[in-house]
Amino acid sequence: MIVAEDMYRLGSQRSAIRELFEYGKQRAAVVGAENVYDFSLGNPTVPAPACVNETIRQLTESLDSISLHGYTSAQGDEETRAAIAAYLNRAHGTHFREDNFYITMGAAASLSICFRALTTSPEDEFIAIAPFFPEYRVFVEANGAKLVIVPADTETFQINFEELEKAVNSHTKGVIINSPNNPSGAVYSEETIQKLADLLRGKSKEFGTEIFILADEPYREIVYDGVQVPFVTKYYDNTLVCYSYSKSLSLPGERIGYVLVPDEVTESETVYAAVAGAGRALGYVCAPSMFQKVLVQCMGQTGDVELYKKNRDLLYEGLTKIGYECFQPQGAFYLFVKALDPDADAFCERAKEEDLLIVSATGFGCPGYVRISYCVDEDMIQRSFGAFERLYNKYEH
């Protein structure tokens, strides 16, 4: 083969979620878009806050082309990094400085950078807690390490500590956590974070290694009923935060986020330099200039989370009433539901017969469950209940 076989494989196979989305478009052409209930993607439907477009308008009117569209520093504008530090310090009582931040093209870039920066040997392992975002495998393996899966705690969707303890060994470089979680909607409690920190401190000591927490937090602000999301750097020193504005500001197509390397990280300046080096090696330098400037003006703002909450309540109550077993999400915008067939892939195929497009959680490392994205129009949720009921009635209860 004239190209890298693993890259060819990645590029020629669409992800299962993308596949389903494309299928939905084909079905819409046949049966009409109003008769297809597409719950496949996590594309925010709540508009970006008004501040985003207002700032873009102001910037285009007030700045010359180079100031607006030119290269920024490789690690991002100082003003943007300082604004993020100030905001987090206000919100969480932390003491970050601009030098703790490396601006990236979203959480995907932030994660890839961290895996590349931390991997020192092909034996290095990163642990993902099921259910987990399937792209972790792509990012970890492409950057030369191994992904290890800790099975889900399907009662609470917090961390299954018994299994985690067994998975951590002398090769463990990091544990990836994602709270609020895609796909379960769980938010890790303070107790969970504390327990995780204690476990990793103990294991680092036992093996004489540095074990990192990689906190993947694109959904940090999308939480319901006043649930608090503990700020992980306050509980565990070796924490790198991978943040994205894709979901909080509804800007997934603009590709903007950051890596946070706190001073408390062991040899933090070395780790930051490796993060910058990985950004350089992977081509993630000078994140989009205009959106770095937008962030400065829109710091701390979000899209209207109440709209997602309305969808959550509608879908959770509607499906529970039909008889589905659903986990009530505390954050993000996904409903995690027990499939009516032990084979969730087969269940999703039967859902397709009703033009219901839902995602099997097998690829999320949680067999027997499905993910239903509710960042969709409320109207589509309302219209989909008949199809969910017909799907339910295909099975014996």
- For binding to ligand PLP (CB under 6 A), which residues are involved? 42, 106-108, 133, 178, 182, 216, 218, 244, 246, 252, 257
Least distance in angstroms from the C-beta of 128 to ligand PLP:
10
Least distance in angstroms from the C-beta of 93 to ligand PLP:
26
3-state class of 331 per DSSP?
Answer: strand
Token representation of residue 26: 């084909």
CB 254 within 8 A of CB 43: no
Least distance in angstroms from the C-beta of 182 to ligand PLP:
4
Comparing CB distances to ligand PLP, the nearer of 107 and 168 is 107
Nearest to 176 by CA among 234, 219, 129, 130: 129
Least distance in angstroms from the C-beta of 250 to ligand PLP:
11
- Cα–Cα distance measured from residue 244 to residue 170, given in angstroms and rounded to the nearest whole number: 30
User: Angle at which helices 344-353 and 378-393 pack, to 10 degrees?
Assistant: 110
Comparing CB distances to ligand PLP, the nearer of 204 and 330 is 330
Least distance in angstroms from the C-beta of 373 to ligand PLP:
10
Residues 6 or more apart in contact with residue 158 via CB below 8 angstroms: 186, 188, 189, 192
Least distance in angstroms from the C-beta of 184 to ligand PLP:
11
Comparing CB distances to ligand PLP, the nearer of 111 and 391 is 111
- Cα–Cα distance measured from residue 235 to residue 195, given in angstroms and rounded to the nearest whole number: 10
Comparing CB distances to ligand PLP, the nearer of 136 and 224 is 136
Comparing CB distances to ligand PLP, the nearer of 196 and 259 is 259
Give 213's strand partners: 175, 239
With the C-alpha atoms ordered 337, 343, 348, 353, is the resulting torsion angle positive or negative?
negative
Number of H helices, E strands in the chain: 14, 13
Least distance in angstroms from the C-beta of 235 to ligand PLP:
20
3-state class of 326 per DSSP?
Answer: strand
DSSP per residue, 144-189? T-EEEEEPP-TTT-S--HHHHHHH--TTEEEEEE-SS-TTT-----
Comparing CB distances to ligand PLP, the nearer of 107 and 358 is 107
Least distance in angstroms from the C-beta of 193 to ligand PLP:
17
Give 359's strand partners: 371
Nearest to 14 by CA among 363, 376, 365: 363
What DSSP designation does 234 have?
Answer: G
Comparing CB distances to ligand PLP, the nearer of 182 and 330 is 182
Comparing CB distances to ligand PLP, the nearer of 180 and 230 is 180
Nearest to 279 by CA among 69, 75, 7: 75
